[in-house]
Amino acid sequence: MGTGTWKVKTGLAQMLKGGVIMDVVSVEHAKIAQEAGACAVMALERVPADIRAAGGVARMADPTVIEAIMKAVSIPVMAKCRIGHFVEAQALEALGVDFIDESEVLTPADESHHVWKHDFKVPFVCGCRDLGEALRRIGEGAAMIRTKGEAGSGNIVEAVRHMRAVTDSIRKLANTPQGELMAQAKEMRAPFELVAEVHKAGKLPVVNFAAGGVATPADAALMMQLGADGVFVGSGIFKSSNPEVRAKAIVEATTHFQDPKIIAEVSKNLGEAMPGLDMKQIPTEELLASRGW
Amino acid sequence: MKIGVLAAQGAFVEHIDMLRQLKVDTLPVRLPRELAGLDGLIIPGGESTSISKLMLTYNLMTEVKNLAQSGLPIFGTCAGMILLAIQILDSDVAPLGVMEITVSRNAFGRQRESFETELSIPVLGEKPFPAVFIRAPVIKQVNGKAEILAKLADGTAVAARQGKLLVSAFHPELTSDLRFHRYFLDIVSGSRESGG
């Protein structure tokens, strides 16, 4: 009987597909998310928009908050550790969280190395901006990938850029002759075996969600039509004027992403979306997506 | 033969892929009108709360329940098993309530307790079945007409059948073993009138 196997790790990610994973900072939020139909929650101390506003060093959440949320809901609970902070990851595993997000939203602890995720029994999700970055994280043991987007911005443009970058590269790789795969691996700085696997399968070996800037039902459906397996919503729900209604609308738009009538219907009377940021308003050194490699 | 796969949320694509390997016409079901003309339905793994809420909002609960009661073959894996049960312990999820089993959700614990094992399933032949349990439920009690098809070494019931309804707590769709799906198709075509 095997626990923590690759099959079991990637299998949980497969069960989350077609669903919405919502950032929550309290038991009350977590219950709203579950009631709205979220397939999992991300337990945090602050949503990315508040982390961005607060500045300073952002770390793993207080375990008290995470445990309270784990007790309050029956859906899977995820939590974030800093990039490369394998001890925060060990602590989160000891708490029994269902998934760890090694996240650029928190301040990186290591500028050279991400966590060696094969050492853990709990699965990890990691952000990426392109296929090379996705395959480096999978090589380190990530059982699920998401776009980085730009967390806390309320602007979908970066998530779209990253999702298109990944799917374009997959399409190209699928049509690359066998003899050119090694050069491709060198160019995208990715493990050769994984490059060869993507070439053969024409898709990523793990589930790929969209994240970083989803604020409306149409944003969620856009990412799904661009090929995402599901959606993370960070600040987009609880920074809006009516979280209960917006959360449910984003869940429905994610399921019915190919049905414009339903998307139009669920987009009615949602109140104010979270305030958004133009990318030009964010100083380069404050871009979260450029954290990690 | 046409088999629908409920596509509200979860691992429905994996079921569709398996049915295609078995040369069966298949389509995802998100709305009641997509249930028309089906010979069978699969309710996949995923989050049972999420799936049940989407089913309620889009009027699939009543429709699927009526079809089950009028004899439509349905195969539920993991969350699908939970939704088919007449009773779910410690949960406010409202199930379809068509199969006479009582289930317990997340019965092994959290993700770190998820596991894979080789399972003996007599109706599928001697070769053990690769069973993947992900935050899995179990069957606590079988009432009336339902019969158990597989048990773990400690006696925990993890697969069952009641007439044309079939459930497993694990995920055949995450493996390359097609036997469980073939068994369901035999139920649909009427060549397996009872368990065994």
Interval A226-272: pLDDT, tens: 999 999 998 999 999 999 999 999 999 999 999 999 999 999 999 99
pLDDT band at A156 (very low <50, low <70, confident <90, very high): very high
**Minimal Cα–Cα distance from B63 to chain A, Å?**
18
Residue of chain B nearest A71, judged by CA positions: B110
Question: Which chain B residue is nearest to residue A120, measuring alpha carbons?
Answer: B112
- The chain-wide mean pLDDT, for chain B, equals 96
Closest by CA to A63, choosing from A48, A47, A50, A80, is A80
Query: Which stretches of B7-122 are assigned E, i.e. beta strand?
Result: 25-29, 40-43, 74-77, 85-89, 99-104, 115-119
Which residue type sits at B145?
K
Q: Which of A7, A12, A74 sits opposite B106 (nearest CB)?
A: A74
Say if residue B192's pLDDT is above 90: no
Q: CA–CA separation, B62 vs B56, rounded Å? A: 8
Q: Which residue of A has its CA nearest to B58?
A: A252
Has B63 been annotated as catalytic? no
Q: How far apart, in Å, do the first and last CA atoms of chain B sit? A: 23
What is the dihedral sign for C-alpha B10, B16, B19, B25?
A: positive
Q: pLDDT per residue over B1-10, tens digit each? A: 999 999 999 9
Residue A52: predicted pLDDT: 85
Token digits of residue B111? 């993700």
Q: How confident is the model at residue B101 (pLDDT cuts 50, 70, 90)?
A: very high
- The position carrying tokens 């606590």 is B140
Q: What is the pLDDT averaged over residues A20-44?
A: 97
Q: What's the whole-number mean pLDDT along residues B133-142?
A: 97
Q: Are A20 and A231 a contacting pair, CB within 8 Å?
A: yes
Asked if B126 is an active-site residue, the reply is no
pLDDT at residue B143 is higher than 90: no
| Cβ atoms of residues A118 and B131 within 8 Å | no
Scanning every residue of chain A, which has its alpha carbon at the shortest distance from the alpha carbon of B133? Answer: A8
Would you call A61 helix, strand, or coil by DSSP? Answer: coil
Residue A169 has which token pair? 């590269």
Q: For residue B70, give the 3-state DSSP assignment.
A: coil
Mean pLDDT of A86-94: 98
Distance CA A103, CA A230 (A): 18
| pLDDT at residue number B194 | 63
Lowest average pLDDT, out of A18-27, A99-108, B90-99, goes to B90-99
Q: With contacts defined as CB-CB under 8 Å, which chain A residues touch B174?
A: 7, 11, 14
Q: Given an 8 Å threshold on Cβ–Cβ distance, is B115 in contact with A11?
A: no
b/e burial code for range B92-117 (CB count within 10 A of at least 16 → b): ebebbbbbbbbbbbbbbebbbbbbbb
Q: What is the dihedral of CA A171, A177, A182, A187, to 10 degrees?
A: -40
| B47 to A121: CB separation less than 8 angstroms, yes or no | no
List CB contacts (< 8 A) between A254 and chain B: 9
Q: Residue A143 in 3-state DSSP?
A: coil
- CB contact under 8 Å between B11 and A14, yes or no, is yes
Q: Considering CB atoms only, which of A11, A74, A121 is closest to B132?
A: A11
* pLDDT average, residue stretch A172-179: 97
Of A120, A68, A71, A118, nearest to A91 by C-alpha is A120
Give CA–CA dist A142/A145, Å, rounded: 7
Structure tokens at B153: 């070494």
Q: What is the pLDDT of residue B144?
A: 83
Block residue for tokens 């569709």: B16
Comparing CA positions, the residue from A286, A284, A148 lying closest to residue A214 is A148
Mutate to test the interface with B, among A22, A74, A208 (most CBs of B within 10 A): A74
B13, B110, B116 ranked by CB distance to A2: nearest: B116
> Which residues of chain B does A255 touch, with a Cβ-Cβ cutoff of 8 Å?
7-9, 30, 54
Closest CA of chain B from A138, distance in Å: 19
Neighbouring CB atoms inside 10 A of B4's CB total 29
Å from A199 to nearest chain B CA?
19
B92 has pLDDT over 90: no
Q: Which long-range contacts (CB under 8 A, 24 or more apart) does A221-226 make?
A: A221/A253, A221/A254, A221/A256, A221/A257, A221/A258, A221/A263, A222/A156, A222/A160, A223/A147, A223/A156, A223/A159, A223/A160, A223/A163, A224/A254, A224/A257, A224/A258, A225/A257, A225/A258, A226/A160, A226/A163, A226/A164, A226/A167
**B113 in active site:** no
Q: How confident is the model at residue A198 (pLDDT cuts 50, 70, 90)?
A: very high
ipTM: 0.96
Mean pLDDT of A147-151: 95
Which residues from chain B sit within 8 angstroms of residue A122, using beta carbons? Answer: 111-112
